[in-house]
Structure 1
Amino acid sequence: MRRDEILAKLNVRLPEAVSAIALPALAVALGLQCIRVLISGLTWVLGDRFQLGAFQLGAIAFAVFGVAFLASLLRRKLGYRRVIAASLISLSASAIFVQIWPGDPIFGLIAAGAGTAAFTLFLPVYLDEVRRQEDAAIPLFAAGFLCGLVVDSLLSGAWGTYDPIWQQSAVPVLLTASQVAALMFATVKVWGEIPVSPPGPIRSRSGAWIIVGPFLFLQLLILQNIPSQSTLTGLNTATTYLWLIGAELAGVIGAFFLHTRHADATYLATLFSSGLLVTFAFFPFSTGVMGLALLLLAQVSACYLFFTVVLGMNNTQRGHTMNLSTANGVGMLLLAILILAYYAVYQIALPYENSMLVMVSAVLVSGGALTSLRYSKTRLRVNRKQWAVALLACAVALVPPAVHASTETQPAVPSDEGFPVKVLSYNLHNGFNYIGKLELEALALEIERSGADIVALQEISRGWLVNGRVDMLTWLAERLQMDYFFGPTTGPFWGNALFSRYPIISAQNHQLPSDGLPLQRGFISAKIRVGGENLQVIATHLHHVEEDTETRIGQLLALMAFFNPAERTIIMGDLNAEPSSTEIGLLRGLGIKDVIATIEPPPAYTFSAKDPFQRIDYIWVTPDITFSEPAILTSTASDHFGVMVTITK
């Protein structure tokens, strides 16, 4: 049967519907990618590299997201079509520039800021124009927005959570270019279908739209976050990817289905969904099967509530307190505030738990949906043939994650190759190089070239938004084909890791004294089979504030009590103390050997990669271990140099 005959049989105006959904979907996907680059750039380019403070970073973030307040003014001065064209072209050009720019990431950050600002302008202007059209236009916009989450997750998961926008190889660049081309094509298609409205302000009122910020916060932080859910549930990345895509698709279909029911059922569904989302906010980081179930219910609930808010916005509203442009601006500022406030607790001591912000977001989304119910007059009518098309589209969307899950590469089985064995300690700076660019491939190449068999890694991030929302652990493990053990220290998503080509017989994670510290610390102890015997490896990362010597001493005393001292042991990591310090004197007093101190000529500095001036990374061995070839890996892939040595017996 020919394609046009199938479409006629299904009685669906597929080209028009696809364009109306694809336009917001592709814009949302590109917008979310720009937001992630922006948040990472603020943290690592401006904060870490240029040492801007929290208030300065906050002001810059507010300036970028605050551009949303200009939507009504621009709509009045330029008209709908010019604003939409300018915002989408800016968003597309920004995404392309971020990806292909090979130079200083400060320019990529500026482009990401421009793309984010364009995205915040696009939403209210396009939504305002959509509301002037027939009733079917509003649900198609809502579906498109939610499908944008699906597109974004599909792209992120397909690359192992290392977003294509960070990668400059041919396939990711072509993929982003294809997104942009599809967005431009959808824009042209929709352009001809929407009548030209005269220039004027965005007058209609829709205060509930402020939930767009809290809704996106929940998505970026938890519901759409493949690395964090993989960490919590214990599933591999590919299986988690499949589950999250399924949950997002269930959210889109569920939102449509529930809004085809009678008004009483819609009220009950809204109340029930609000209760589910708020309940989830009490347990946002549940583990195991419970975590998977709560994630599914929370995603379906969040999508339904968002859908309810959008359907509640029409031109006949009179009861809302702010217009769409203002509501959108407030929502975007809320997004910036929530993200900054969530991660600020890892920098300075603040009088709240960041999980409280999840609850605030859930309450705002639920409240927005409940207040929108009285304005929602649209009951959707979807016939069976249209359902068939929608379900077929969902099935197609599930194919990439299903294939990915069924073909995921398993790490090589570790084997005991005997001595000699090369060991490496490397602080990865959360995946960012010394100038603030996320470059996991450069780090992987450095580890690969070293020939290391056992690798202690510090600053491993699994889904933190400020670190690009990448799962460094599983991406590097698959890339390097090494077995691994993760030791979280600050929550479940950040800490130390141990990679090995030799069998890890056993491993444990231990917390170090960190009372009152924003970043908690710990160490991994592992037994690794080498040459027919168990070699004990201890990998750690101590407190980083230079003046807090007593804190590091307390942490070292706890580590030394565990060590006790044992035979056949290697201790390595970033100790954040120089060789002449009191802390290092404690270790030296145990009679263990500082192998990097034997490098000639001294000094063997390990920090910083840009301008080395101190040694704070170490490998220590007990007297019964012989070694050779101590070395410093002088690469700028991180802000630290790696330290390594060959254990000969």
Structure 2
Amino acid sequence: MRIMCLNGWGGKLHDQLIDYVSAASPDILCLQEVVHTPLATKDWLDYRDGDHVLPQRANFYLDVARALPGHTATFCPAAQGVLWDGDKTVPSQWGLATFVRNSFPIIGQIQSFVHKGFSPSDYGEHPRSRNAHAVRLFDYERNWPVSIVHTHGLRDLNGKMDTAERLAQARRLTELATRISEPGDRLVVCGDFNVEPESETFGILREIGLTDLVTSRGFAGTRTSHYTKPGRFADYMLVNDAVTVIDFDVVSDPEVSDHCPLLLEI
């Protein structure tokens, strides 16, 4: 089973990302920063937050779903705000998506929030709502279940230091992982956590037997050249002792986002 985790940056590098995901064809794709704009009539719209303007692929979720036609796609919105088409606003949802190859039946799933709740009328004040999606699959080839959880950690405008909100978020993520998995399950927890490697988040996740593969295997970061700010870590993938890791990589080439894809084979 091949599991990929990626912050898709709203599809800003759309062509590169679609080509890569289609060619890699992971069994499970855990995708963050996903845009879903059902009323869009154009392929590209703008996200605006003060002086920050970022091109967004209007129906990024559907684009990725089309690139993985043999997968079951689930979109999990965290908020609905607006994107901009010139001087016009277009209602748009933002959140996570999970893509599971059809040969792996989904035998359990939970969609929940790790910070705040669904924001229905705008993206909200920072730090904004953040959700998580957990699936429990059955692997017929190996004859066992696998539980996978991913999230996009809250963004604090002051930085990636530990805060009471981040620690509460880690507790909620831990609770979600223990709810979806059963004793003996192979458990994978991943995402863009928006914390540094020394964060107390990882101590909380260790309480349920999870170890991070990015830092424990000596990778120097998870950001690409498109990210120009200080700090090279954001994305992590953790496993419990029941998981046998065949291969794990932080994929630096090709660059498909300002985040590197994390690719795990178990």
TM-score by length of 1: 0.32
Question: Which SS does the other structure have where 1:591 is aligned?
Answer: coil
- Write the distance in 2 (CA, Å) between the matches of 1:596 and 1:428: 18
Matching residue of 1:637: 256
Cα deviation, 1:323-355, whole Å, max 9, x if unaligned, reads: xxxxxxxxxxxxxxxxxxxxxxxxxxxxxxxxx
Question: Structure 2: how far apart are the matches of 1:576 and 1:498?
Answer: 19
Q: Is the CA contact 1:627–1:646 (under 8 Å) kept in the aligned structure 2?
A: yes
In the alignment, residue 542 of structure 1 is paired with which amino acid? G
- Offset at residue 646 of structure 1 (A): 0.5
CA distance in 1: counterparts of 2:155 and 2:192, whole angstroms: 9
**1:542 correspondence with 2:142:** no
Give the deviation of 1:527 after TM superposition: 1.7
Distance 2:28 2:153 in 1: 20
Query: Deviations for 1:281-300, whole angstroms, at most 9, x for unmatched residues?
Result: xxxxxxxxxxxxxxxxxxxx
In 2 relative to 1, CA 469–616 (structure 1 residues): closer, same or farther, beyond 3 Å? closer
CA displacement at 1:427 relative to structure 2: 0.3
Question: Deviations 1:486-526 (Å, cap 9, x if unpaired)?
Answer: 11112371101111213333433101222754631010011
Q: Sort the Cα spacing of 1:642 and 1:568 in 2 relative to 1 into closer, same or farther, 3 A.
A: same
Gap change, CA 1:632 and 1:469, over 3 Å in 2: closer
| 3-state SS of paired residue (1:627) | coil
2:73 alignment partner AA = Y
CA distance, structure 2, for counterparts of residue 586 and residue 453 of structure 1: 28
One of 80, 105, 110 as aligned partner of 1:508: 110
> Would the aligned equivalents of 1:595 and 1:645 in 2 still touch at CA under 8 Å?
no
Which of 489, 499, 506 does residue 99 from structure 2 map onto?
A: 499
What do the CA deviations read for 1:159-199 (whole angstroms, capped 9, x no partner)? xxxxxxxxxxxxxxxxxxxxxxxxxxxxxxxxxxxxxxxxx
Q: CA deviation at 1:561?
A: 1.8
Per-residue deviation, 1:559: 1.4
Tell whether the 8 Å contact from 2:22 to 2:67 is kept in structure 1 after alignment: no
Q: 2:29 aligns with which of 427, 443, 455?
A: 455
Using the alignment, how far apart are the partners of 1:468 and 1:582 within structure 2?
33
Q: How does 1:367-378 map to 2 (within 5 A)?
A: none
- Would you tell me which structure has more strand in proportion to its own residues? 2
Task: Measure how far apart 1:543 and its partner are.
Answer: 0.5
| 1:640 counterpart SS class | coil
What SS does the aligned partner of 2:194 have? coil
Give a deviation string over 1:362-418, Cα, whole Å, max 9, x none.
Answer: xxxxxxxxxxxxxxxxxxxxxxxxxxxxxxxxxxxxxxxxxxxxxxxxxxxxxxxxx
2:139 aligned partner? 530
Q: Distance in 2 between matches of 1:553 and 1:618?
A: 16
Kept in 2, the 8 Å contact 1:427–1:642? The answer is yes
SS at the partner of 2:29?
strand
C-alpha displacement at 1:555, in angstroms? 0.9
Normalised TM-score (structure 2): 0.74
Structure 2 residue 200 is matched with structure 1 residue 582: yes
Cα contact 2:76–2:111 (8 A) shared by 1? yes
- Structure 1 residues 484 and 446: CA distance shift in structure 2, 3 A: same
Task: Count matched residues.
Answer: 219
How far is the alpha carbon of 1:596 from its aligned partner?
2.4
Q: Distance in 1 between matches of 2:216 and 2:19?
A: 26
Query: 1:606 — aligned with what?
Result: 222
Are 2:2 and 1:422 aligned? yes
Task: Give the Å deviation of 1:620.
Answer: 1.1
Distance in 2 separating the partners of 1:511 and 1:475:
25
Distance 1:591 1:446, change over 3 A: same
Q: RMSD across aligned C-alpha pairs, in angstroms?
A: 2.3
Matches within 5 A, 1:155-234: none
- Work out whether residues 162 and 195 of structure 2, in 8 Å CA contact, stay in contact via their aligned partners in 1: no
Q: 2:190 aligns with which of 569, 572, 580?
A: 572
Alignment partner of 1:441 is 2:15: yes
CA–CA distance in structure 2, aligned partners of residues 604 and 453 of structure 1:
26
Q: Does 1:472 align with 2:60?
A: yes
Q: Is the 8 A contact 1:488 1:509 kept in 2?
A: no
Match of 1:7 in 2: none
Over residues 411-437 of structure 1, what are the superposed CA-to-partner deviations in whole Å (9 max), with x where a residue is unaligned? Answer: xxxxxxxxxx111100001011xxxxx
CA distance in 1, matches of 2:211, 2:238: 5
* CA distance, structure 1, for counterparts of residue 170 and residue 147 of structure 2: 17
Which structure has more RCO (C-alpha within 8 Å, separation ≥ 6)?
A: 2
Residue 245 of structure 2: aligned partner:
627
Kindly tell me: are residues 615 and 449 of structure 1, through their superposed partners in 2, closer, same or farther at Cα, counting changes over 3 Å?
farther
SS of the residue corresponding to residue 430 of structure 1 reads: helix
Q: Deviations over 1:216-267 (max 9, x none)?
A: xxxxxxxxxxxxxxxxxxxxxxxxxxxxxxxxxxxxxxxxxxxxxxxxxxxx
Q: What is the letter of the counterpart of residue 526 of structure 1?
A: V
Give the conservation status (yes or no) of the 8 Å contact 2:128–2:155.
no
Change (3 A) 1:629 1:469: closer
2:52 aligned residue: none
Cα distance in 2 between the residues matched to 1:608 and 1:552: 24
Aligned counterpart, 1:103: none
Contact 1:608 1:641 in 2 (8 A): yes
* Partner amino acid, structure 1, of 2:138: R
| Structure 1: gaps of 5 or more residues | 1-420, 433-438
Aligned partners of 1:483, 1:511: CA distance in 2, in Å?
22
In structure 2, runs of 5+ residues without a counterpart are 47-54, 81-91, 118-124
Q: Secondary structure at the match of 1:571?
A: strand
> Alignment partner of 2:79: what SS?
coil
Q: In 2, Cα distance between the equivalents of 1:471 and 1:583?
A: 32
State whether residues 211 and 240 of structure 2, in contact with CA within 8 Å, keep that contact through their aligned partners in structure 1: yes
1:595 deviation in Å? 2.1
What percent of counterpart residues are identical?
A: 25
Q: Which has more radius of gyration?
A: 1
Contact 2:162 2:199 in 1 (8 A): no
Cα gap change, 1:574 to 1:468, in 2 (>3 Å): closer
